[in-house]
Structure 1
Amino acid sequence: MDTNALQAFVAVAEAGSFSRAAEQLFLTQSAISKRISLLEQQLNSRLFDRIGRRINLTEAGQNLLPRARRILMELADARRSLESLSGEVAGTLSIAASHHISLHRLPPILRQFANDCPNVTLDLRFDESEIAYDNVLKGNLEIALITLSPHPDENILAQTIWQDKLRYVIAPDHPLAQLDSVSLEQLTRYPAILPGSTTFTRQIAQHQFSELGLSPDIAMSTNYLDTIRMMVEIGLGWSLLPETMTQPLKVLNTNTPPMTRDLGYIVHKERTLSNAARYFIDLLQRQDR
């Protein structure tokens, strides 16, 4: 079975498009189609249903996908394991970081890594935590720097590097700003601006309200915390933000248990890490928490 054909199959399945898969693999669409056709011939099974412009995995394709990912991951692991024998820190390091970590935590670490490891090519992506998490789980990335999931998959190894204290905030001229303390029930009477419902940060916030049988009035959602801070500042609603991002907002006293979110890195438990990945993780673990 041709590994290039397997790689094309996984790319098409994940992208949901032959053209997008071709862009990701730097191939022509016809080359992708030929690889898929070859794989279908070898397996004597149709892997995709093509209906108009939409494609869907057949039952055979659904069965093959996790196995194809595992084969490609094991081949990549074997390659990295052999390369690591030399002890040289070189090659390509595939890594993703959330937007918040990229802006507020990552720059000094990247600078140090680039200075210490000039022979490493960084394949660096800036993704939402949940997308980066999924790509590590699928074997597309060695490391992701993200807001850690409250309920990680059993195949994910997560390590906390930083911890954000989370605080409820409003604009200084908001009607609640003059109160000595504000209950969560009072907050539900006003519009909230929070990250999307699928984000790990939103899950943390939602949990505190759910325990009291409450539900915040979500007026707007965006996954960019700097944008949320701007919208709170101009009076569009209240939010829950890291303590390091509360200026120039008014921090509310809600008399609730303190909330934190863990930031750190994740890797796949079954993936052999390259020397470059190990060096990068060592830099992370030297950080003050």
Structure 2
Amino acid sequence: MDTQSLQAFLAVAETRSFSRAAEVLYLTQPAVSKRIATLEGQVGARLFDRIGRQTTLTEAGLLLLPQARRILQAMEDSRRALTNLSGQIGGRLTLATSHHIGLHRLPPLLKRYTQRHPDVELDLHFLDSELAYQGVLDGSLEMAVVTLSPTPHAQLKAQPVWTDRLCFVCAPDHPLAAAANTLSLATLCQHTCIMTGARTFTRALIEQRFHDAGLSLNVSMATNYLETLKMMCSVGLGWSLLPEGMIDDELVDLAVDTPLIHRPLGYLVHTDRTLSNAARKMIEELDAARPG
């Protein structure tokens, strides 16, 4: 069972398409099909069903999938450990980050990193923080720089680097903007709000504050992109919470009678994974960015 066939198998399983898998692997579609056929011959079972335009795993494919991931991960860990012995800082670093962190926190850090380590091939993925967590867990990502989960995970090391203060905001012409006194959480709940998605770490953090007060948010719309959320809030579609650094004259920063809400941002690695020298150097850059 060769690694090239296993890589092709994983690519087809994850993209659910032979053509998209070929693009990911920089191969022709016939080459991908040949590798899958080779693997099916080795395991003695059909791994994919192709019905119309749909490509789905067979029962045998579903059984092979976690084993294939473990085999490739073990080989990658071995290769990385051997490379680490040489002290070389190069190769590919597969790193995920959220759109907000990628736009507002990482640019100067990535610039320094690439200048100091030009032999590293940075494979950067923009993902929701929750998906990045899963990628680090299943080994498809070496590390992630994301909003950290309120709940620790036993297999992951989550290191805070920055803290976002979340501000209650609304449009200048929103009824809440005219309030003469400090607002209560109960008053906010009388108006519709715009929030991040229901399953995001940021949403969980905010909802917990209202839940502790015996209140429920009146959510009218949701989006995982904070820049989009800011736009919708600025045109009066509802109040919201946004990181302090995003507040400008398009929004009013509301005074609310509750302790400040902060969300931790930082990096994530698997506790059982042998990190590459490239990842170790990235962690050094991130640790250096932590406030003294």
* Equivalences for residues 156-167 of structure 1 within 5 A: 156-167=156-167
* CA-CA distance at 1:101 after TM superposition: 0.9
Corresponding residue for 2:279?
A: 277
* CA-CA distance at 1:253 after TM superposition: 2.8
- Counterpart residue identity of residue 228, structure 2: T
- Counterpart residue identity of residue 44, structure 2: N
* CA-CA distance at 1:288 after TM superposition: 3.3
How many Å separate the matches in 2 of 1:119 and 1:35? 30
- Counterpart residue identity of residue 244, structure 2: E
How many Å separate the matches in 1 of 2:187 and 2:64? 52
* Equivalences for residues 22-101 of structure 1 within 5 A: 22-101=22-101
* CA-CA distance at 1:285 after TM superposition: 0.3
In the alignment of these two chains, the number of paired residues is 289
How many Å separate the matches in 2 of 1:123 and 1:108? 17
* CA-CA distance at 1:67 after TM superposition: 1.5
Corresponding residue for 1:252?
A: 254
8 Å Cα contact 2:194/2:219 also seen in 1: yes
8 Å Cα contact 2:142/2:269 also seen in 1: yes
**SS of residue matched to 2:55:** strand
Corresponding residue for 1:242?
A: 243
Compare 79-88 and 115-124 and name the one that shifted more.
115-124
What is the TM-score normalised by the length of structure 2? 0.92
* Equivalences for residues 218-237 of structure 1 within 5 A: 218-237=219-238
- Counterpart residue identity of residue 26, structure 1: Y
Alpha-carbon displacement from aligned partner over 1:164-203 (angstroms, at most 9, x marks no partner): 1112111222111232222333223322111122222122
How many Å separate the matches in 2 of 1:24 and 1:98? 21
* CA-CA distance at 1:212 after TM superposition: 4.1
Mark the runs of 5 or more structure 1 residues left unpaired by the alignment. Answer: none
**SS of residue matched to 1:24:** helix
Alpha-carbon displacement from aligned partner over 1:257-283 (angstroms, at most 9, x marks no partner): 332111011112222111111011001
What is the TM-score normalised by the length of structure 1? 0.93
- Counterpart residue identity of residue 107, structure 2: P
Alpha-carbon displacement from aligned partner over 1:62-113 (angstroms, at most 9, x marks no partner): 2221111111111011111111111121222221221111111111111211
Corresponding residue for 2:130?
A: 130
* CA-CA distance at 1:217 after TM superposition: 2.7
**SS of residue matched to 2:220:** strand
Mark the runs of 5 or more structure 2 residues left unpaired by the alignment. Answer: none
CA RMSD of aligned residues (A): 1.8
* CA-CA distance at 1:233 after TM superposition: 1.7
* CA-CA distance at 1:230 after TM superposition: 2.2
How many Å separate the matches in 1 of 2:201 and 2:18? 31
Corresponding residue for 1:147?
A: 147
- Counterpart residue identity of residue 231, structure 1: M
Corresponding residue for 2:265?
A: 263
8 Å Cα contact 2:185/2:257 also seen in 1: no
How many Å separate the matches in 2 of 1:208 and 1:62? 41
- Counterpart residue identity of residue 64, structure 2: L
8 Å Cα contact 2:40/2:46 also seen in 1: yes
How many Å separate the matches in 2 of 1:59 and 1:202? 37
Alpha-carbon displacement from aligned partner over 1:108-159 (angstroms, at most 9, x marks no partner): 1112112211222222222222232222222222221111122344322211
How many Å separate the matches in 2 of 1:40 and 1:259? 53
How many Å separate the matches in 2 of 1:281 and 1:182? 41
| 2:98 counterpart of 1:110 | no
How many Å separate the matches in 2 of 1:36 and 1:154? 35
Instruction: Give the direction of change, closer, same or farther, for the CA distance of 1:31–1:161 in structure 2 (3 Å limit).
Output: same
